[in-house]
Amino acid sequence: MINPISTQAMFMIQKIMTKNKIEKSIWFHSDFKSDTVAVVIIAPGLNLLPSKMDELAYFLTSKKCDVFRIALGNNPHQWCNKFSDAYDEALEHAEVIERPLYFLGYSLGALLGEHYMLSNPYQLIKKCVLIAPATYTKFYTQIPAWLSLIFPKGKIKSSNLENYRAKSFTSLLEYKIMRRLQIEVKKKFNILEFNTPTLLVTNPHDELVNSNKLTKIAALNPHWVSLELSNKESQLPKKYHHLMIDSAAIGPSEWKKLLKRLTEHFEL
């Protein structure tokens, strides 16, 4: 006879696994083994399913890049360590095959990349692509970070599309750590000294990121170039201007535009 408690426990485990999709960091290797041109680290956004960055990863492998698409995990206290470990692993591979190391980050992932580069001035990332970086966000995005001081274990229901989000809820602690990263980056960041060639990708109608401020700052450094995208052709049931990571989110013509600029920027 089946123990009813065990059956209930199994049901709960399956329910949790369905709601919280756990993914790991993975490598995408180019088929052009002896002709690989670069190694690229890809970092996802807050509570974004990491595999939603894979369309970009597959495109880069088709352009003869080896790609390390990382997963940040559920513990925000480990985000910086996870990025640092990913950088070390990707750099080791780049040095073995004697190819440059590039970085592509989206939202929180872009912020983490900036934070790492500013904290480690001798790092060897040669070029960057920052898609809707969470460096400067709208005022109301700070509210969850403030609420974490009152409700340290609190959570907010994710408004992102179900097949894009890693979890149904985002913890207030994650917002708190992201806010801390923003503050640390702003203290260290000087656009005139951040001379790593960088492609900044924004949507002027972004709900979360202050795109206008980002593009004005980027214009001060000749090593930075900007690209504005729209999601008018989005194929998703609900459109988010902040979501610019695959063809379904921004539509075929804007996706083609993004891939063209990636190719040019990374010289692929």
For residue range 241-255, list pLDDT tens digits in order: 999 999 999 999 999
Task: Let me know if residue 145 belongs to a domain.
Answer: no
List the 224-228 sheet strands across, edge first.
26-28, 65-69, 38-43, 101-106, 125-131, 198-202, 224-228
Q: Which residues contact 17 (CB under 8 A, 6 or more apart)?
A: none
pLDDT digits (tens, 9 = 90+) for 121-167: 999 999 999 999 999 999 888 888 898 889 888 998 888 889 999 99
Task: Let me know if residue 109 belongs to a domain.
Answer: yes
Report whether 176 contacts 204 (CB < 8 A): no
pTM exceeds cut of 0.85: yes
Task: Let me know if residue 2 belongs to a domain.
Answer: no
Q: How many domains does the chain have?
A: 1
pLDDT digits (tens, 9 = 90+) for 45-91: 999 999 999 999 999 999 999 999 999 998 999 999 999 999 999 99
Q: What is the per-residue pLDDT for 144?
A: 87
Residue 7 — very low, low, confident or very high, per pLDDT cuts 50/70/90? very low
CA dihedral 188, 69, 56, 105 (to 10 degrees): -10
Task: Let me know if residue 91 belongs to a domain.
Answer: yes
Task: Let me know if residue 161 belongs to a domain.
Answer: no
Q: What is the per-residue pLDDT for 20?
A: 59
Task: Let me know if residue 16 belongs to a domain.
Answer: no
Asked if residue 28 has pLDDT above 50, the reply is yes
Task: Let me know if residue 171 belongs to a domain.
Answer: no
Q: What percentage of residues in the chain have a pLDDT greater than 70?
A: 93
Residue 17 — very low, low, confident or very high, per pLDDT cuts 50/70/90? very low
- Find the CATH number of the domain harbouring 235: 3.40.50.1820
- State the residue range of the domain holding 56: 23-137+181-265
What's the full length of the chain, in residues? 268
pLDDT digits (tens, 9 = 90+) for 184-220: 999 998 887 889 999 999 999 999 999 999 999 999 9
Task: Let me know if residue 77 belongs to a domain.
Answer: yes
Please name the residue ranges forming H helices in the chain. 4-19, 54-62, 79-97, 108-119, 143-147, 172-188, 211-218, 247-250, 252-265
